[in-house]
Amino acid sequence: MNLANLPGFLAPLGKDSEKSLLTYLLEWAYTTDAKRIGVMYILFAAVCGVIGMILSIMIRAELATPGLDLMTDDLYMTLPGMHASAMIFFFIIPMYAGFANLIMPIQCGAPDMAFPRLNNAAFWLLPPAAIFAFSSYIVSTAPQFGWTAYPPLSNSVYSPQLGADLWLVGLIIVGTSSTMGAVNFLSTAFNMRCKGMTLFQLPLFTWAVIVMSFLVLASTPVLTSALIMLNLERLFPETFYFFAPEGGGDPILYQHLFWFYSHPAVYIMILPGFGMVSEIFQTFSRKPIFGYHVMVWSMVGIAVLGFIVWAHHMFTSGIGLYVRMAFMFLTMLIAVPTGIKIFSWLGTLWGGSLSFKTPMLFALGFLAMFTIGGLSGVVLASAAVDTQLHDTYYVVAHIHYVLVAGSVMTLFAGWYYWWPKATGRMYNERLGQIHFWGTTVFLNVTFFVQHYLGVQGMPRRYADYDPDFALGNLISSYGSFALAAVQIVFFINMFISFRSGERVGDNPWKDGTSLEWTIASPPDHHQFHHPPEWIPVERHHGDHHAPAAAE
Amino acid sequence: MAEMVIGPGEESFGVPNGKLGMWTFLVMDAMTFAGFLAGYARLRWKDPLIEGTAWPNPYETFGVFGIQLTALNTFILVCSSVTMVHALAEVMRGNMKRAENWLLFTIIGGLIFLGIQGFEWTHLILDVWPYLFDPTHSVDYNLNFAATFFALTGFHGGHVSVGVIYNLVCYLAIRRGKLTADDGDFIEVAGLYWHFVDLIWILVFTFVYLI
């Protein structure tokens, strides 16, 4: 490939970097351009997503038939936790951060992020963090306590391996990186908007990034402090006692601190996706979003409620009955703002002139299947039912419907939606549709049966199981192999279209309304050649009291 | 193409980016301390899991001298906040020489604070809690007290160290003429961080030493 022919922000900046690939890559590494940093985030997250997928394939391969077939217990015990950390901390969260970097400043009408160097530093914390976390496999044994790292299982008595310390350090660095990103996103979205772009004119993806950043700011540091305490306890076993019962510590304290982060974290992992599909539904329905203000406030409502429901992960930890009842009630309340969003999306689709391109298909798939995850969430929210289902495959099915059928579907939707904007070339629509249908079908084959396994009582995180569960596990395993195989279509599609896809203009979807569709594909280094001006649009869709609607 | 300027856009909150960034960062930092303080609160206000190891009375553990020394230390840290305010005021009046001196006082205040804290840590580790480095020493003591004490004051001390370095950078920048009277925002943002560190210490001091 001739570097000099690359368009827009992909083009080399200097004469030297046109000739030498190394100089060109260094130019990327040192860049302060939010779009390039966004692309680096996305590529990094994609690599980690593949690693996480390989780990999940190992899990499903072992579980395909009863008995220990492929690996030892010791190896298997590391897999669920490392798969979860890879997917959560190194795939979904950085991937959203990447899209936010790529798109959010443009949607605000800003020339770049508020703190470009901080932005670069935040990205470059991620690869070392990933190396720390994954090198635990090479240096010693990876941690065997799952991604939740509950003490006392995770303290130095029961998990003496060095890998656990490496993993903890990796997670603390990831947390630092994402809070640095959040500071940057908030400052950009609040302070660098172009003329006419008032807060309630911002596109919903930008709003989603704002709300996500508040969640990151308020919750991630609590995880960091919990992990620091756990790390101190592990590294100075005779000195520091926070969670170890033998030293007067309180293991439940760790669970509170951990879930105070990790419950908001599921909204960190879904709200940007909500923003993405809001953009996509507008574009492919050729209608403004239904209930813009309600959409914004329901995101804020989800975020606020998300902070006061964490103990529903601890219904079997022995917390008080009235506490459980309060948390059960609050948890069920979250279904209300989420339901508002689902119905507003349906309202956007209603009467729209729909076009079923790949991004739209993924967004619709998200809408249908995320609802299943939401419904099983309401089931689990009930403290009485959860006592039965806790730590069974029902929980595994629920989390995967929320994160795979939810977050990952929105990530693919966003990827296809903004791919022409980022590369200037169109992907292959037929391959995209094959990818969508393959993903959707095999995702359900993989995870739906796990609901039944869970209700029958199959516990999670074990390498072996009762032969009664054999059929369900075999179906699930075949589904997961096919699901992984289908992703090859995606990578082939992206590879081909980056090389030889059809070149596109500023607004390849014809109906994109936000600012990123007014500039070149791919955008130039400074994105806007003149300071942009946003002509305010009517956001009071369906409100008959609004002045513009009265005309 | 013209040089790109990163600054507030046409629609903004009317404050410099740096100030907004620092405030959002402080939200984050406050939550980190909240995590540690929540851990402290939980471990202190529960029934001891080990018989006979009730939470010690801080006044007895630190001794009269310890509490008074730390009270003096608190006073010094509060004073260094006052000098920081003076530094900003002088920058806004354009008296860079005087601003430089006030910043120097702030840095010295921070260093004295760290010195006294280091002295106190040494005393506590060697004399009060010998079991920390001597496994043979019998423990008849609530172990969570020392753990939360070191975690909280250590994390805060780390923040003071960063603040001293931050102020030192500002001080050198003024000395070398890189920060001028037009750059009051930089000093203001540095001041925000310093006052925050001060405020957190008031909380830590109250919870760990006084209550």
**Does residue B54 sit within a domain?**
no
- Judge: A249–B42 Cβ closer than 8 Å, yes or no: no
- Judge: A225–B35 Cβ closer than 8 Å, yes or no: yes
For residues B8 and B17, give the distance between their C-alpha atoms in angstroms, rounded to a whole number. Answer: 6
B residues 82-111 closer than 8 Å to A (CB) = none
Write the single-letter amino acid at B191: G
A residues 218-277 closer than 8 Å to B (CB) = 218-226, 228-229, 232-233, 238-242, 245, 247-250, 253, 256-257, 260
Give the pLDDT of residue A550.
Answer: 39
Looking at residues B180-204, what average pLDDT do you find?
A: 93
Q: What percent of chain A has pLDDT over 70?
A: 98
DSSP A298-354: HHHHHHHHHTT-GGGGGTTTT--HHHHHHHHHHHHHTHHHHHHHHHHHHHHHTT---
Nearest chain A residue (CA) to B28 = A217
Average pLDDT score over chain A? 92
b/e A389-404 (16+ beta carbons within 10 angstroms → b) = bbebbbbbbbbbbbbb
- Judge: A187–B20 Cβ closer than 8 Å, yes or no: yes
DSSP B56-116: PPHHHHHHHHHHHHHHHHHHHHHHHHHHHHHHHHHHHHT-HHHHHHHHHHHHHHHHHHHHH
User: Do residues A316 and A392 touch, judged by C-beta distance below 8 A?
Assistant: no
Instruction: Indicate if ipTM > 0.85.
Output: yes
List the one residue out of A444, A285, A439 whose CA is nearest residue A360. Answer: A285
- Judged by a CB distance cut-off of 8 A, whether residue B8 touches chain A is yes
Nearest 10 degrees: Cα torsion A235, A160, A89, A444: -160
The model's pLDDT over B144-157, given as tens digits with 9 standing for 90+, comes to: 888 899 999 999 99
For residues A348 and A272, give the distance between their C-alpha atoms in angstroms, rounded to a whole number. Answer: 18
Position A549 pLDDT exceeds 70: no
Position A406 pLDDT exceeds 80: yes
The one-character DSSP state at B4 is P
Select from B1, B39, B48 the Cβ nearest to the Cβ of A242.
B39
- Judged by a CB distance cut-off of 8 A, whether residue B165 touches chain A is no
The model's pLDDT over A208-234, given as tens digits with 9 standing for 90+, comes to: 999 999 999 999 999 999 999 999 999
At A97, phi and psi to the nearest 5?
Answer: -60, -35
**Does residue B53 sit within a domain?**
no
Residue B22 sits in a domain whose CATH number is: 1.20.120.80
For residues A500 and A494, give the distance between their C-alpha atoms in angstroms, rounded to a whole number. Answer: 10
Task: State the total domains in chain B.
Answer: 1
User: Do residues A101 and A41 touch, judged by C-beta distance below 8 A?
Assistant: yes
The model's pLDDT over B81-129, given as tens digits with 9 standing for 90+, comes to: 999 999 999 999 999 999 999 999 999 999 999 999 999 998 888 888 8
Structure-token pair, residue A201: 């004119």
Gap from A490 CA to chain B (nearest CA, Å): 36
- Judged by a CB distance cut-off of 8 A, whether residue A186 touches chain B is yes
Interface test with A, best of B13, B15, B17, B126 (most A CBs within 10 A): B17
**Cα distance between the two ends of chain B:** 61
**Does residue B8 sit within a domain?**
no
- Judged by a CB distance cut-off of 8 A, whether residue B135 touches chain A is yes
User: Do residues A337 and A305 touch, judged by C-beta distance below 8 A?
Assistant: yes
A residues 114-133 closer than 8 Å to B (CB) = 114-116, 118
Position A542 pLDDT exceeds 60: no
Q: A291: left (phi > 0), else alpha (psi -120 to 50), else beta?
A: left
At A45, phi and psi to the nearest 5?
Answer: -65, -35
Name every chain A residue with its beta carbon within 8 A of the beta carbon of B28. 179, 182-183, 217-218, 220-221
Question: CB within 8 A of A209, min separation 6: which ones?
Answer: A100, A104, A185, A189, A272, A275
Gap from B208 CA to chain A (nearest CA, Å): 16
CATH superfamily of A31-527: Cytochrome c oxidase-like, subunit I domain (1.20.210.10)
- Judged by a CB distance cut-off of 8 A, whether residue A323 touches chain B is no
**Residue scoring higher pLDDT (B4 or B59):** B59
**Does residue B28 sit within a domain?**
yes
- Judge: B24–A183 Cβ closer than 8 Å, yes or no: yes
In sequence order, the β-bridge partners of residue B121 are: none
For residues A215 and A299, give the distance between their C-alpha atoms in angstroms, rounded to a whole number. Answer: 11
The model's pLDDT over B59-73, given as tens digits with 9 standing for 90+, comes to: 777 776 678 899 999
Question: CB within 8 A of A25, min separation 6: which ones?
Answer: none
pLDDT band at B50 (very low <50, low <70, confident <90, very high): low
Gap from B98 CA to chain A (nearest CA, Å): 30
Write the single-letter amino acid at A108: C
pTM: 0.94
CA dihedral for A350, A351, A353, A356, sign (positive or negative): positive
Cβ neighbour number for residue A112 with a 10 Å cutoff: 23
- Structural domain harbouring B148: 17-43+64-210
Cβ neighbour number for residue A155 with a 10 Å cutoff: 27
Give the pLDDT of residue A18.
Answer: 81
Select from A182, A194, A241 the Cβ nearest to the Cβ of B147.
A241
Give the pLDDT of residue B46.
Answer: 78
pLDDT band at B49 (very low <50, low <70, confident <90, very high): low
Give the pLDDT of residue B1.
Answer: 38
User: Do residues B187 and B179 touch, judged by C-beta distance below 8 A?
Assistant: yes
- Judged by a CB distance cut-off of 8 A, whether residue A398 touches chain B is no
Q: Which of A249-253, A389-393, A494-498, B131-135 is predicted with the least confidence, judged by mean pLDDT?
A: B131-135
DSSP B144-165: HHHHHHHHHHHHHHHHHHHHHH
The model's pLDDT over A458-512, given as tens digits with 9 standing for 90+, comes to: 999 999 999 999 999 999 999 999 999 999 999 999 999 999 999 999 999 999 9
Name every chain B residue with its beta carbon within 8 A of the beta carbon of A232. 147, 151
Average pLDDT score over chain B? 88
Give the pLDDT of residue A539.
Answer: 81
User: Do residues A397 and A443 touch, judged by C-beta distance below 8 A?
Assistant: no
**Domain regions of chain A by residue span:** 31-527
Question: CB within 8 A of A272, min separation 6: which ones?
Answer: A96, A99, A100, A205, A208, A209, A212, A410
pLDDT band at A546 (very low <50, low <70, confident <90, very high): very low
For residues B49 and A346, give the distance between their C-alpha atoms in angstroms, rounded to a whole number. Answer: 54
- Judged by a CB distance cut-off of 8 A, whether residue B144 touches chain A is yes
At A334, phi and psi to the nearest 5?
Answer: -60, -25
Position A115 pLDDT exceeds 60: yes
| CA-based R_g, chain A, Å | 23
